[in-house]
Structure 1
Amino acid sequence: MSLDDRNYSEKRDFIRMQVQTKAILEHAGQQYPALCLDLSSSGMQLEVDIALAVGDRIRVFIPSEHSALKGLEADAEVVRISAGRNGRHTLGLAILDMR
């Protein structure tokens, strides 16, 4: 299977939910505001102001707007970085562990 076939297959295997919600990114003991653009069972896309590198391990918190529901907390790895809007960075993340 070629890389293109694998990438296409991965995109088809996991439904991405467009969420546009506030998140908190934690890296090297610091927390930064982020915007979660989409979410699937295996990854997510965040828009952030800080510069990270492919391979960086981070933690992401997405608080719940409902008191009866727990928010999302995930350990993730940066697998893709691209230029976002207004000079921000768009990060493609692989979820390593959900809490």
Structure 2
Amino acid sequence: MLESNDNRNFMRMSINADAKVSFDKSGEEHSLDAVCLDLSAEGLSLEVPVELEKGQQLSVAIVSSGGVPSLKATAEVVHSQRLDNNSGDYLLGCRIISMD
């Protein structure tokens, strides 16, 4: 499904795909499983099990199937909010810095 918002330059596509996220915190590399909820040319939304701070840089690999290579990007957390679904997960809005 494609969604549009007047404040966006590009359409956002819902994908609900498994993703791997890695980031450096206090000099240590961390990685976690995530779900990429949607994706556009400039950004993506991730559901993650931990809160990450605004400005945190992430390496994101969106897992694909059928022999198609994973999409890999470097992104920056623009906002983070706890989900209201009692899962304890967080919704991250991220700006894509580069595609790897």
TM superposition score category, shorter chain reference = 0.7 to 0.9
TM-score by length of 2: 0.84
Q: Matched residues in 1 for 2:62 and 2:35: separation?
A: 9
Of Structure 1 and Structure 2, which has the larger fraction of its residues in helix? 1
CA distance in 2, matches of 1:27, 1:98: 16
Task: State the match for 2:76 in structure 1.
Answer: 77
1:8 aligned residue: 6
**After the TM superposition, which segments of 4 or more aligned residues of structure 1 sit over 4 Å from their partners?**
none
Return the letter of the residue paired with 1:18: S
Q: Which residue of 1 aligns with 2:95?
A: 94
Cα deviation code 1:48-96 (max 9, x no counterpart): 01121000011001122021x2110000000011122312100000000
State the TM-score, normalized to the length of structure 1: 0.84
Q: CA deviation at 1:17?
A: 0.5
2:60 equivalent to 1:60 = yes
Q: Give aligned pairs, total.
A: 90
Question: What secondary structure, in the 3-state scheme, does the structure 2 residue paired with 1:18 have?
Answer: strand
**Structural RMSD (CA):** 1.3
Q: State how far apart, in whole Å, the 1-side matches of 2:6 and 2:70 are.
A: 30
Q: Give unmatched runs, 5+ long, in structure 2.
A: none
Determine what percentage of the aligned residue pairs are the same residue. 34
* More strand, by proportion: 2
